[in-house]
Amino acid sequence: SSPISNLPPELLSLIIVFARSSKRVPHRIPYEVSTSHVSRLWREITMGMPFLWTKIDMFSTHSKSWVSAYIERSGQLPLDFNIDIYRSEKLYRRGGQSKQQAWPLISDVVQVLHRVRSMNILCYRQNTAVMLQNFFTDRPTPLLESFKIQHGTSFSAINASMGLKAFVFNQATPCLTTFVTDTPNILPRSDKLRSLETLYWHGLDPKLAINANNFQHTLSSVTSLVHLSLQGTVAFGFWPTGMPAGPQFTLPNLKALRCLDGGGTAIRTLLAISAPKLESIWLECSFDNFPAHFFGAPQMNVLGHPKFPALKFLTLHFEAFPFSEQFAKVFPTVSHVHYFHVNLRQSDKLAQAMKVLWTSVNTLVFSRFRERDAEKLTTALSQIILTRALGVNPMQAILLDEDHLRFIRKCHTNSARDVQLLAKVLSRDNYAEPWW
């Protein structure tokens, strides 16, 4: 017999627990099932640990065959469901099948919603996502902490008939802290969002029934919000010139804001909110309307004080370099600026902003840029490093992707050598931005 067969059950159970991977791969036998078929002893140990059976993965309607067994073996512990039918739906594209596929998939799940701690759903079609959400409308979910539902339908393919507002979780959800959705018209009612800390409100579209009033009402109701991610465009119907000079509502606990795709949505949100604890802003959107409607807006500089006094991290995408000086004026407290997939053609604009205006910045971060433009970047960074070395706040670090750092280290120009002294590999250890 093998040495492991002689181990005490207590020690063997610890080995089984710590050898388990957190990732699950489709079409592979789950870890807990494999360990339960090694021997009679292993099966007794595995079956005697209910927490091994609390994470239930479903990849198609065929997954239904083992759901009831997992539910039974997990005892009365809270359950975590991961329903990923993106691939199976994409392969089976015939329309009109959502309801027929959704109910068999979810029928066992809805019977134990009172035990569900987290629900993660990924579909290919939007109508399947909406159909699945309907099953959660009037059922109690007292333990639910996280609900995520996403789909692969592009904005241009959004069904206009889904523009009517609907609600999910009409029953109490006292533990719900995370809500991620690509179907923005289907949210819990405002009074059910009081404990929410993370909201991914994605898929916003002018064709949907979300206007300026209910957009503001929803966000102002979530006073516990810490992380907010917005994607798409809201049908506001006006530009910020008609907004009051002061903030329209306060998010007292918000620490991280991310705006994707919709430049207008980003402008209006930044002008409308007061967020005294906001530490991070991530702007992955067009800056075309920022000069006319954002940089000079009175909401961004009330009585000479920065609007977001706690702001430390700023992430800018695409054509951000030409606006570096303007961003420096509206966000003067930032210490870390991350240029992500940025066009490096106007590096001199960054150099000018860093020398004169943005003296609070001590760390610059660059990722996903074209290496053929790296020489322009190193020239600008060298000027920044040398100029700031004579001031009160010298640069502390230049953080780069590993590939880009390797490329710059191969350069032998004087400017490249200046950058190499401060250059480090970008990692979670040296960059604590919450969205990265």
Handedness of CA 328, 331, 336, 342 (dihedral sign): negative
pLDDT at position 4? 74
Is the separation of the CB atoms in 210 and 204 below 8 Å? Answer: yes
Mean pLDDT of 202-223: 87
Model pTM score: 0.90
Give dist(CA 187, CA 205) in Å, integer.
15
Neighbouring residues of 330: CB distance < 8 A, sequence distance ≥ 6: 294, 295, 300, 301, 306, 307
Neighbour tally for 80: CB within 10 Å = 17
Is the model's pLDDT at 186 over the cut of 70?
Answer: yes
Mean pLDDT of 290-310: 85
Neighbour tally for 261: CB within 10 Å = 17
Domain ranges within the chain, ordered by starting residue: 1-53, 316-436
Instruction: Kindly indicate whether the domain formed by 1-53 is annotated with CATH number 1.20.1070.
Output: no
**pLDDT tier, 348 (very low <50, low <70, confident <90, very high otherwise):** confident
pLDDT at position 280? 99
pLDDT at position 226? 98
Is the separation of the CB atoms in 311 and 334 below 8 Å? Answer: yes
Q: Which of 246, 196, 186 minimizes the C-alpha distance to 223?
A: 196
Give dist(CA 321, CA 344) in Å, integer.
7
Whole-Å CA distances, 132 to 122, 127, 167, 200: 10, 9, 13, 18
For the chain, the distance separating the N- and C-terminal CA atoms, rounded to the nearest angstrom, is 49
Is the model's pLDDT at 31 over the cut of 80?
Answer: yes
Q: Which of 2-6, 64-68, 234-238 has the highest mean pLDDT?
A: 64-68
Chain CA centroid to CA 283, Å: 13
Mean pLDDT of 286-307: 85
pLDDT at position 1? 60
97-155 confidence digits (pLDDT tens): 555 567 777 888 989 999 999 999 999 888 888 888 888 888 899 999 999 999 987 65
Query: Among 102-106, 116-120, 261-265, 322-326, whose mean pLDDT is lowest?
Result: 102-106
Whole-Å CA distances, 142 to 166, 174, 186, 352: 21, 6, 19, 55
Q: Which of 373, 380, 322 minimizes the C-alpha distance to 344?
A: 373
Is the model's pLDDT at 302 over the cut of 70?
Answer: no
pLDDT at position 318? 82
Give dist(CA 236, CA 242) in Å, integer.
11
Q: Which of 295, 422, 310, 320 minimizes the C-alpha distance to 364?
A: 422
pLDDT at position 192? 83
Mean pLDDT of 316-330: 91
Give dist(CA 257, CA 125) in Å, integer.
28
Q: How many CA atoms lie within 13 A of 275 on its CB side?
A: 28
Three state DSSP letters for the chain: CCHHHHCCHHHHHHHHHHCCCCCCCCCCCCHHHHHCCCCHHHHHHHHCCHHHHCEEEECCHHHHHHHHHHHHHCCCCCEEEEEECHHHHHHCCCCCCHHHHHHHHHHHHHCCHHHEEEEEEECCCHHHHHHHHHCCCCCCCCCCCEEEEECCCCHHHCCHHHHCCEECCCCCCCCCCEEEECCCCEECCHHHCCCCCEEEEEEECCCCCCEHHHHHHHHHHCCCCCEEEEEECCECCCCHHHCCCCCCEECCCCCEEEEEECHHHHHHHHHHEECCCCCEEEEEECCCCHHHHCCCCHHHEECCEECCCCCCEEEEEECCHHHHHHHHHHCCCCCEEEEEEECCCCHHHHHHHHHHCCCCCCEEEEECCCHHHHHHHHHHHHHHHHHHCCCCCCCCEEEECHHHHHHHHCCCCHHHHHHHHHEEECCCCCCCCCCC
